[in-house]
Structure 1
Amino acid sequence: MAGNVRPVADERDGLLQFVAQQRLVIRTAAYGLTDEQARATPTASTLSVGGLIKHVATVEDGWIDIVLQKPSEPGANSQDDYANGFRLLEDETLEGVLARYEEVARRTEEVIAGIEDLGQAVPVPKGVPWFPPDVEAWSVRWVLLHLIQETARHAGHADLVREHIDGATAMPLLAAAENWPETPWMKPWSPADAAS
């Protein structure tokens, strides 16, 4: 996938392609990082690149569970689970988190392919403080738009964290990850470019 989404065939294809593009953008923030760097929290927040990728994978998977009206597991969603959802823990690897994100993406695409009407109602879970109490249902379309929004928000966070790790920025990282040719105005990132 290049720096922009390809022309899309229809609404479903467009929504899925824009979700995929944002997944690519946040994954690219991890390009060339070690596990230690992916755990690093170099800004005033506790966010790390690996933790952000882990979080968006968990959120996307959770939203697909909501679309499928799959009940959450008892005891899930403790405060520790929530906090650890933003961290790449010592027993986790960046490679493992990225592999899980690929599995989540495949699941999302399979589930959405099996839904005939993107206007299908998705009941709003109750008791979640950031969900409106006066809305009974969203649509599958709304969920996909929300996943684009959520992933893009955290991709921006990951870009800032990455820049604090070694100075790398989004477009040179994407150019390196996708093997774009060097131009007078765009040089793909390389480990030699890392700030010390």
Structure 2
Amino acid sequence: MDEEKATLHQYLRIRRADLLAKLDGLDEYAVRRPMTPTGTNLMGLVKHVAYVQLGYFGEVFGRPSGRGYPWEGEGAEQDADMWATAEETREEIVELHRFSAAHADATIEALPLDAVGEVPWWPEERRRPTLHTLLVHMTVETARHAGHADIVRELVDGAAGMSAANSNLPERSAQEWAGYRERIEAAARQAGRPGAPAGDG
């Protein structure tokens, strides 16, 4: 594998691991619980990324995984990839994500960066991207949803940062975090006062 492809692939693998780690230590309700008005939840993020990855590194390059999609078939529910039903287990969703990653890795390893795929759901003028483009696209997609998962996990139980091993956050006590948040709140309220000039300190 050439150096550029290896670097992109490594970043994708790191972001996958970041996302999966957000399920650790939570019960079944917590991993499924919708935490935003649009229903964002941890299991749904993992499930969604798994299916998107299967599409971009599977069908797009003529390498179908053999797995069906939850939105296929008569009566399928819209956005069925964005949440887990009560019948779907955490183990099934995590296994799907790992299967998706392995299938994607096989495509990435087998093809050169300039290999061209076809994305039928993209506009005609950009429908035939290279593996290089899709590696960047999928890394950004995974990182975006890992960021969503960071915030959702903090809302669920207060756990913050990239991972237990590397929070990537300043070291502060609970009291110091509360004070820090209060300073941000005070600045926001001051800036939001009716008639407050921009940059008013």
Give the TM-score, by structure 1 length.
0.74
- Match in the other structure for 1:168: 159
Partner of 2:176: none
Amino acid at match of 1:111: T
The structure 1 residue matched to 2:53, chosen from 52, 60, 67, is: 60
Contact 1:51/1:86, CA 8 A, preserved across alignment? yes
In structure 2, C-alpha distance between the alignment counterparts of 1:57 and 1:39, rounded to whole Å: 16
Q: Which amino acid aligns with 1:100?
A: L
Shift of 1:77: 7.5
DSSP 3-state at the match of 2:129: strand
Q: Which residues in structure 2 correspond to 1:17-28 (within 5 Å)?
A: 17-28=10-21
Number of the residue aligned with 2:149: 158
Q: 1:111 aligns with which of 107, 115, 123?
A: 107
Specify every segment of 5 or more residues in structure 2 that has no aligned partner in the other structure, as ranges. Answer: 174-201
Deviation at 1:30, TM superposition (A): 1.3
Instruction: For CA contacts below 8 A with separation 6 or more, give which structure has more relative contact order.
Output: 1
Return the letter of the residue paired with 1:170.
G
Q: Name the aligned partner's letter for residue 26 of structure 1.
A: L
CA gap 1:158/1:79 in 2 versus in 1, 3 angstroms: farther
Question: Which residue among 102, 122, 126 is the counterpart of 2:117?
Answer: 122
Aligned-pair distance for 1:168?
A: 0.9
> Is residue 140 of structure 1 aligned with residue 131 of structure 2?
yes
Q: Structure 1 pair 164/78, CA: closer, same or farther in 2 (3 Å)? A: farther
Equivalent residue number for residue 91 of structure 1: 87
Q: Assess if the C-alpha contact under 8 Å between 1:54 and 1:85 holds in 2.
A: yes
Larger radius of gyration: 2
2:62 to 52, 63, 69: 69
Percent identity over paired residues: 29
* Residues 111 and 186 of structure 1: CA distance in aligned 2, closer, same or farther (over 3 Å): farther
2:36 to 36, 39, 43: 43
Q: Is the 8 A contact 1:42 1:165 kept in 2?
A: yes
| 8 Å Cα contact 2:32-2:42 kept in structure 1 | yes
Note closer, same or farther for the CA distance 1:144–1:41 as it changes in structure 2 (3 Å cut): same
Cα RMSD for the two superposed structures: 2.8
Counterpart Cα distance in 2 of 1:124 and 1:133 = 9
- Larger displacement relative to structure 2 (147-156 or 64-73): 64-73
Unmatched tracts of structure 1, length 5 or more: 1-7, 188-196
What whole-Å deviation, never above 9, does each CA across 1:156-178 have from its counterpart, x for those lacking one? 1111111111111123xx12xx5
Cα distance in structure 2, aligned partners of 1:10 and 1:101: 26
Q: Conserved in 2, the CA contact under 8 Å of 1:122 and 1:138?
A: yes
SS in 2 for 1:163: helix
The residue identity in structure 2 corresponding to 1:28 is: A
Match for residue 100 of structure 1 among 83, 96, 100: 96
